[in-house]
Amino acid sequence: MKAVNFWKTLFCAALAITAFSACSDDDNDDDGGIPSITVDGKESATLAVKLEGGTTEAVEVVSTGNWVLELSGTETGWCHPSKETGGKGKTSLTFTVDKWEGAASTDERSVTATLTTNGSFEGIPIPKKATIKIVQSDGDIPTESALYSENCGTKVTDQPYVSDYTGWTRGGTLDQKGVTYAGSSASVRNSGKNYDPADDQKSEVSGPPYVFINSTTANFYIKDINIGSNSNFTFTFTALDQKSFGSGAPVFADVTSSTLKFYVSTDGSTYVPVAFTTKKIGSVNSWYLCTAQFKLPADASTDKISVLFDSYPKGTGHDGLRIDDFKLYEGGNGSELGDITYTKATVNQIKADGNYEIENAVVIATYQRGFLISDGTGIMQVYMYNKDTAPTPTIPAVGDKYTVKGAAEEYGGLWQIGTLNQKLENKSTGTVPPVTYETLTGEQVDALFAAPELKAVQYTGKLTIDGNYYNVAVDGATAIGSITWPNAGIVSSALNGKFVDIKGWFVGATSSKYFTTLAVEVTENASVVSGSFTDTPKAFAATDAKAQTLNYTASEAAGEVTFELTGTDAAKFTYTKKSNTQVEVNVAGDNTSENPYTATLKMKAANGTELDEVTLVQAKPESADATIITTDFRVEATYPGGFPTKNGTPAAAQTFDFGGNNYVLNAPDGHYRNASQKSLFFGKTTKDIKTTAYLQFPVVAGKKLTKVNLTMGQQGGKEIVLDVFDASGQPVSDGTYTTSSGNGTTEFSHEFIITGTNDVAYRLASITPTGKNIQVAEIVLTYE
């Protein structure tokens, strides 16, 4: 045999053994070619029989060749297959199960039937197996076909929200085309091999992708399931609860009714809690089969139902839930769905989950997503916004009085009435109590953030407006003030970048850093002497540099703003004040030295107070013997063999040879080439990633890194702060770069001027945790 044919044969045989698809077209003969065997169209199936025994429903075996059946389990003599062998094509197979004498209602036993067929490739045998699990118990295990089924489709390349995902299967014996999927903080994702079902779980768990919910207010809706004329049901799903993630692997916990809640609705708005039982599947990963049974009320008139999965409550300390394999069957032994029962309570009595009724609740403040009520005993938020059911909620007016009904939930350290089962009844007019606002210092902002209490507050800080984000930097506070969805007219865009006084209500400590405020009044504080540059200057070219215009803001109290150039190279730069908001900076001439020129431009108030400063840099001329390394990550041929093309790769640092230049990538959430977005992805962590997620540049012996020209991909993340660092995490460039708006149609670039380096490796990384991918299209490195 020629060497090339030998290696081809070895390669194809290895591929066939692992994937059962290779470079042979001889796959149709009995016991030859690439084998295939399925049971009811899948690799595995589960059949159920009651304790009194009987014959299972038939499964269809489809095989490309002869097959044999073998039973395995602790005991197998009680289960009798109708056939122990079969041939090519279709075969109907059943199992007769003996009565289990003396078994208790809680007992369960099972056997596994393994069906094996064989194929071959150029003389190399290739086995293929399918399995059938037969379970005998007194439990209510559905065996008939499901009215509705959903396995979340095939693998996803990203983590889309459930309402954006397009891969739903919507299966079942009834037409389920009208089913929709919605939720809050719920996504569809693959998760990785740590979460995939083991072999003894695959009969119940279909595998990735899964629905993932991971916060105390996250939920997942399956809406408008077609039930036909049926009224008695069993609903099953699989679930995996991750308690934490440590030492490179997840830690799993039992799935119980305290970590996951299940609801059913006959009208799409009122959801009734339904109990479910759980049974651990297999021996690893803690996947559970969950079963809920219920009947529709006798007076219900509907051909559709909706279900809701609500995430674990605050305080359980769990990281996330994965749920999958949703099925609705006709039949079961559940109770009839009851009406929602609301417990009458005053605001100050609501300290736990439940449905409550609050009388004489007067609306005292509003914002775009809800309102505050006072019943004389306390103040509570009523949150109305639900992306999937009320995109534009109608907010009551201040002074309206209601009986408020709804499910209580904890958010931001405070109890509120959420959107679940929410009703406003008995509208009338009430009296708004007088409000006294407590003035907070920075220390008091942090103290209230650490121990949340809904109260009227006022504080001062610098306002930054970015789209729907209204953040306030409060002097002396670590927490960031955040004005939540203000009503029209509350915040003027002219206040962006200015110091403001805020009056309103502290409504929660959110996202580990935001002092969330329902603002009722935002005004400029003209007494604060303040000012800042809103632009960061880029490095000037060594020759023929172009002037740059820097924008700045200053408060009225700052008076007439002046500027000053300081530093050894101050004479190498010039500035011209163009207006009360702009200053033009330039260089005095070409740089003919061996080093960059640097100076500091300071902004000062009329009284001499220094308000802000920026660094000006003029690059040194490029030497004749400079080494320039250009790496284009857009081009497929650039990537070395074996480079990852999907997420989930090992987090340890890895070296890759790009055309003779060694880059080192370290990324806690994987690094990979994204062909569709033409970029190298890395990062996406919530840690301090300048030392834990980075792209390390090649080293050129005897030369120093002097310049990094970076081009970010079209889909690069917004507001990722980048810099160049040494191995200890110390910056070495002329300043940070904040990426432009992501998800656009154009690339964006930046030039870093590097100083003080030697001939060791340096890294590109984010300076702050972002939780976003860094996406690099091209890098040009200059060494001198």
C-alpha R_g of the chain: 33
Burial profile 8-28: b = 16 or more Cβ within 10 angstroms, e = fewer = ebeebbeebeeeeebebeebe
In this predicted structure, what is the pLDDT of residue 319?
74
**Residue 784 corresponds to which amino acid?**
E
Spatial CA neighbour of 491 closest among 461, 515, 511: 461
CB atoms under 10 Å from CB of 142, counted, come to 20
Could you give the C-alpha distances from 352 to 52, 376, 384, 493, in angstroms and in order?
45, 20, 19, 40
CB-count burial class (<10 Å; 0-12, 13-18, 19+) for 50: middle
Beta carbons within 8 Å of 410's beta carbon, 6+ residues apart? 216, 313, 314, 416
> Could you give the 3-state DSSP secondary structure of residue 558?
helix
Give per-residue pLDDT as tens, 443-465: 999 999 999 999 999 999 999 99
In this predicted structure, what is the pLDDT of residue 594?
84
At residue 214, φ and ψ (nearest 5 deg) are: -145, 25
Between 143 and 624, the more confident residue is: 624
Angle made by CA atoms 455, 457, 462, in degrees to the nearest 5: 140
Beta carbons within 8 Å of 164's beta carbon, 6+ residues apart? none
Query: Using CA atoms, how far apart are residues 573 and 575, in angstroms rounded to an integer?
Result: 7
In this predicted structure, what is the pLDDT of residue 393?
83
Q: Answer whether residue 496 shows pLDDT above 80.
A: yes
Between 511 and 30, the more confident residue is: 511
Peptide bond into 273 cis (omega under 30): no
Q: Answer whether residue 98 shows pLDDT above 60.
A: yes
Query: Using CA atoms, how far apart are residues 110 and 259, in angstroms rounded to an integer?
Result: 28
**Confidence category of residue 138, pLDDT binned at 50, 70, 90:** confident
Which tokens belong to 246? 């440590």
Which tokens belong to 485? 């969805």
In this predicted structure, what is the pLDDT of residue 234?
93
In this predicted structure, what is the pLDDT of residue 670?
54
CB-count burial class (<10 Å; 0-12, 13-18, 19+) for 708: buried
Give per-residue pLDDT as tens, 387-403: 655 567 899 999 999 99
Query: Using CA atoms, how far apart are residues 358 and 377, in angstroms rounded to an integer?
Result: 11
Q: Which of 134-143, 151-160, 285-294, 768-777 has the lowest mean pLDDT?
A: 768-777
In this predicted structure, what is the pLDDT of residue 145?
80
**Residue 477 corresponds to which amino acid?**
A
Instruction: Give the mean model confidence (pLDDT) for residues 21-26.
Output: 36
Q: Answer whether residue 24 shows pLDDT above 50.
A: no
Q: Answer whether residue 52 shows pLDDT above 80.
A: yes
In this predicted structure, what is the pLDDT of residue 107?
83
Which tokens belong to 548? 């740059």
**Confidence category of residue 18, pLDDT binned at 50, 70, 90:** very low
Query: Using CA atoms, how far apart are residues 241 and 235, in angstroms rounded to an integer?
Result: 19
Give per-residue pLDDT as tens, 668-715: 555 566 656 677 877 655 455 556 678 899 999 999 999 999 988 766
**Residue 287 corresponds to which amino acid?**
W
Q: Answer whether residue 317 shows pLDDT above 60.
A: no
In this predicted structure, what is the pLDDT of residue 33?
81
In this predicted structure, what is the pLDDT of residue 692?
67
Between 138 and 479, the more confident residue is: 479
In this predicted structure, what is the pLDDT of residue 22?
35
3-state helix, strand, coil in the chain (%, to 5): 5, 45, 50
Mean pLDDT value across the chain: 86
